[in-house]
């Protein structure tokens, strides 16, 4: 951008210089024109005198004619200089206008790039806030579950203590029970154990992640972070073993879940190919390519039907 700005400033300076030359040429031409008029008037005046002229008068007439011819020639030269300066000014004006158009186009492109960067940053910030809110909800649910667990255990312990009655009370209760007529006992319904519902990736999370990827991949030279895919619990032993070797938090099963219902796997595998991230900044290029590769390997396998 600085090169275009410097070129525009240089072109404007050349235009100002050409304009000054043109104005100076006009002023010089005007002066020669006035001198030519004066010389012509003197020549005509001397020629119009009647009678025999003295040698001095003849010399003055000859000198006036020579002066008139010289001034007339200088006036013609000055007119030619004015035309030349005017042509040079027109050329410089055209060049300046061309540079100005290039500068305006460059500024418009730069403005669009800045707006796109701001938009990507806003989308990334919105995605980050959604992820933080989701994590807070998950942590809140986990805390609530942990708080309810001691209460349930305490209630179970109290019931067990109530069952342990003293020996005398137990005998009295037994005799009383033998004296009373037996009543049909209601069938006991066993309590179903509580099954923890495993968290699954929602369609909204999938959509948000794909939108974040589209925004982040628009200009890879500006990428500093790779959008993390949503995760859900995975019981695969291989995924657990590779947990510390992965660049992404999401395992292969999570990534496969993200692309399970996609009909654009052919385009997705191209989109996440590691070579497409070679334009990232030097300090993050390796990490970006590693994360993209982990997604690409899964998507490529799904595309090939493996």
CATH number, domain containing residue 38: 1.10.287
How do residues 93-109 score in pLDDT, each as one tens digit?
A: 888 888 888 888 888 88
Q: What CA–CA distance (Å, rounded) separates 153 from 179?
A: 36
Q: Which residue did the predictor score with more confidence, 64 or 116?
A: 116
How do residues 116-157 score in pLDDT, each as one tens digit?
A: 989 999 999 999 999 999 989 998 888 888 888 776 666 666
pLDDT, average across residues 53-79? 78
Answer yes or no: is 162 within a domain: no
What Cα–Cα distance (Å) separates residue 19 from each residue in 22, 25, 68, 82, 85? 5, 10, 30, 11, 8
Answer yes or no: is 169 within a domain: no
Rounded percentage of the chain residues whose pLDDT exceeds 70: 81
Q: Range of 14's domain?
A: 2-115
Answer yes or no: is 261 within a domain: yes
Answer whether residue 177 shows pLDDT above 80: no
Helix H, strand E, coil C: the string for 183-223 is: CCCCCCCCCCCCCCCCCCCCHHHHHHHHHHHHHHHCCHHHC
Q: Are residues 110 and 209 in the same domain?
A: no
Residue 196 has what pLDDT?
A: 47
Residue 161 has what pLDDT?
A: 53
Contacts of 258 (CB under 8 A, 6+ apart): 201, 206, 209, 229, 230, 250
Structure tokens at 102: 């290039």
Question: Which residue among 67, 91, 115 closes a domain?
Answer: 115
pLDDT band at residue 226 under the 50/70/90 scheme:
very high
Question: Which residue among 84, 115, 146 closes a domain?
Answer: 115
């Amino acid at each position: 951008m600085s090169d275009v700005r410097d070129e525009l400033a240089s072109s404007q300076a050349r235009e100002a210089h050409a304009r000054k030359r043109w104005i100076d040429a006009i002023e010089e031409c005007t002066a020669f024109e006035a001198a030519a008029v004066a010389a012509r008037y003197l020549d005509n005046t001397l020629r119009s005198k009647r009678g025999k002229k003295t040698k001095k008068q003849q010399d003055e007439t000859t000198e006036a004619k020579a002066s008139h011819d010289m001034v007339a020639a200088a006036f013609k030269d000055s007119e030619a200089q004015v035309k030349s300066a005017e042509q040079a000014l027109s050329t410089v004006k055209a060049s300046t206008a061309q540079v100005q158009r290039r500068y305006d186009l460059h500024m418009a492109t730069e403005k669009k790039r800045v707006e796109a960067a701001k938009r990507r940053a806003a989308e990334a910030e919105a995605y980050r806030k959604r992820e933080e809110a989701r994590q807070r909800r998950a942590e809140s649910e986990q805390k609530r579950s942990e708080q309810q667990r001691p209460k349930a255990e305490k209630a179970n312990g109290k019931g067990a203590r109530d069952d342990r009655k003293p020996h005398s009370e137990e005998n009295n209760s037994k005799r009383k029970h033998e004296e009373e007529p037996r009543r049909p006992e209601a069938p006991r319904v066993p309590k179903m154990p509580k099954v923890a519902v495993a968290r699954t990736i929602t369609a909204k999370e999938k959509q948000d992640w794909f939108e974040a990827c589209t925004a982040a991949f628009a200009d890879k030279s500006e990428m500093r972070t790779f959008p993390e895919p949503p995760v859900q619990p995975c019981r695969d032993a291989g995924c657990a073993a590779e947990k510390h070797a992965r660049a992404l938090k999401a395992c292969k099963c999570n990534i496969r879940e993200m692309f399970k219902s996609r009909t654009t796997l052919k385009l997705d595998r191209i989109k996440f190919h590691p070579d497409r991230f070679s334009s990232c900044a030097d300090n993050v290029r390796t990490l970006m390519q590693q994360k993209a590769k982990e997604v690409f390997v899964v998507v490529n396998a799904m595309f090939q039907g493996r």
